[in-house]
Amino acid sequence: MRPGQVLFTYLHLAADLDLTRELLGGGATCIAYETVTSPNGTLPLLTPMSEVAGRLAPQAGAHHLERAQGGRGVLLGGVPGVPAAEVVILGGGVSGTHATTIALGMGANVTVVDRSAEALRRIAAQFGSQVRTIFSTRDAIRQIVKRADLLIGALLVPGAAAPKLVTRDMVQTMKSGAVVVDIAIDQGGYFETSHPTTHSSPTYVVDGVVHYCVANMPAAVSRTSTFALNNVTLPFAISLADKGWRKALAEDPHLRAGLNIDEGQITCRPVAEAHGLPYAPAESS
């Protein structure tokens, strides 16, 4: 990167000191997708990837439940006369809602666990009595994990490491050939037993349970993901191109929230704190 250049992409600098240093040295203006905000307090450039990952999770889980992939050999939706698989989804936010949509669509018995009563009500209103909603307590998770054929960790806590909701001893109580899909692996993962895998070697087995913990899940459907991302980044990109980045940032506080590095200075507090480097607030005009 050279001074005067503008970088507008996913950066995740808090987790990458080398990249941070390189960008600081290059003098470029670095706007990170993942910290751009919206009027209602969400991170709108992360939402499409949460949607894609949520929808992929049951598909990945169903595939790895097949016998040849090491799974229990159960069909998510069963057939008439043979019960459907039990799918447990931890988290009823964006990813969890989309995972629920697809898991129900594939015919599974779906249970959503969340500690927010509001989230459970939203799930219940959208899906009706088709989906079981359970308030999240450590004990409730322990009970439900045992019964799961497919367990999806779908709670994304923006900017924070994912909590280890499912411990190793819980995994040991799961059925042999059950599958866990950890879509928070980029944040460290939900499961004590999780570690990142790749699209070319997506799973490993712990205590008889197949773990699917692929980093950057949305790349599996790159065509869909690219369009989804473009839809939300395009207006910002046009603003940057039309007005010049300085004016675009000055006029839009939500885009400005995405500014991580500006003229060799870190303008995003969490990034500065993560690396113990100095922080300089972005100017608003």
Question: Reduced to 3 states, what is the DSSP secondary structure of residue 206?
Answer: strand
Sequence-separated (6 or more) residues with CB below 8 Å from residue 258: 8, 31, 32, 33, 35, 36, 37, 45, 236
Distance CA 274, CA 147 (A): 39
Q: Which of 28, 96, 98, 166 binds a second copy (CB under 8 A)?
A: 98
Site string for a second copy, 204-223 (x = CB under 8 A): ---------------xxxxx
| Closest alpha carbon to 90 in 106, 111, 76 | 111
Cβ count within 10 A of residue 57: 28
Q: Which of 6, 75, 215, 282 binds a second copy (CB under 8 A)?
A: 75
114 flagged as catalytic = no
H or E, element range at 170:
helix 168-172
Sequence-separated (6 or more) residues with CB below 8 Å from residue 6: 28, 29, 30, 31, 240, 245
Q: Is the dihedral of CA 166, 168, 173, 176 positive or negative?
A: positive
Size of the site for a second copy (CB under 8 A): 68
Q: Which of 13, 102, 165, 271 binds a second copy (CB under 8 A)?
A: 102
Bridge-based pairing state of the strands 131-135 and 86-90: unpaired
Q: What is the DSSP string of 80-129?
A: TTBPPPEEEEE--SHHHHHHHHHHHHTT-EEEEEES-HHHHHHHHHHHGG
Catalytic residue among 114, 149, 182, 186: 186
User: Could you say whether residue 70 binds a second copy (CB under 8 A)?
Assistant: no
115 burial level (CB within 10 Å; 0-12, 13-18, 19+): middle
Q: Which of residues 139-198 bind a second copy (CB under 8 A)?
A: none
- Smallest gap from Cβ 33 to a second copy, in A, equals 14
Which of residues 81 and 278 has its CB atom nearest to a second copy in the complex?
Answer: 81
Q: Which of 6, 26, 37, 47 binds a second copy (CB under 8 A)?
A: 47
12 flagged as catalytic = yes
Q: Which of 138, 168, 199, 247 binds a second copy (CB under 8 A)?
A: 199
- Smallest gap from Cβ 260 to a second copy, in A, equals 23
Q: Which of 5, 9, 25, 126 binds a second copy (CB under 8 A)?
A: 126
Which of residues 191 and 236 has its CB atom nearest to a second copy in the complex?
Answer: 236
| Residues taking part in catalysis | 12, 186
Binding site residues, a second copy, CB under 8 A: 44, 47-48, 51-52, 55-56, 59, 62-63, 65-68, 72-84, 98, 101-102, 104-109, 115, 117, 120-121, 123-126, 128-130, 132-135, 137, 199-200, 219-225, 227-228, 230-232, 234-235
